[in-house]
Amino acid sequence: MATIHLLSAEDITSRLDDLCGVLADCVNGGASVGFMQPFAVDDARAYWLQVQKSVGLGHTIIAVAEHEGKTVGTVQVGLAQKPNQPHRGDLMKLLVHRSARGLGLSRKLMEAVEVEAARLGRTILVLDTATGSEAEAIYPRFGWERVGVIPDYALWPQGGFCGTTLFYKRVG
């Protein structure tokens, strides 16, 4: 059975290799999550070390899903640092390894960080996701409101322009 864990910065160290594997698997599987192909597991390390720093500063919430002893999924909420947005968070990097999809892990991950964000007073959450991606179809199932599309916002990992769809959700 899968379990969901909120991580401290220290907790990330022991899960670093698995987190690198999850990110590389998603990018190589065609997800537009900030990186281009070819993407090696080693390329992911620098990214996760940045995340670890941000978690240590209290600027980011991170949750992971563990299945059969491995970290197979993750999601983050960046806590807006602007003085006029103490109640806002940015949901980011919902990633589930292809070997663990369809098990309901993304729903559990989202629930965990939404509850934690609300506990920290972050009552309005926003996200953007690649237009036409599987993820775009999933967020409305989790109660997120679709705002609209910005065309040509980013590139697909294999190249070519990709629009982004904006969503928000009130929590707490």
Give residues in contact with ligand COA (CB under 6 A).
26, 31, 33, 94-96, 101-107, 129, 133-135, 137-138, 141
Give 103 or 115: the residue with its C-beta nearer to ligand COA.
103
Closest by CA to 115, choosing from 162, 63, 154, is 63
Give 12 or 105: the residue with its C-beta nearer to ligand COA.
105
Give 2 or 6: the residue with its C-beta nearer to ligand COA.
2
**Least Cβ distance, residue 140 to ligand COA (angstroms):** 9
Cα separation, 67 vs 80, in Å, equals 31
**Least Cβ distance, residue 57 to ligand COA (angstroms):** 23
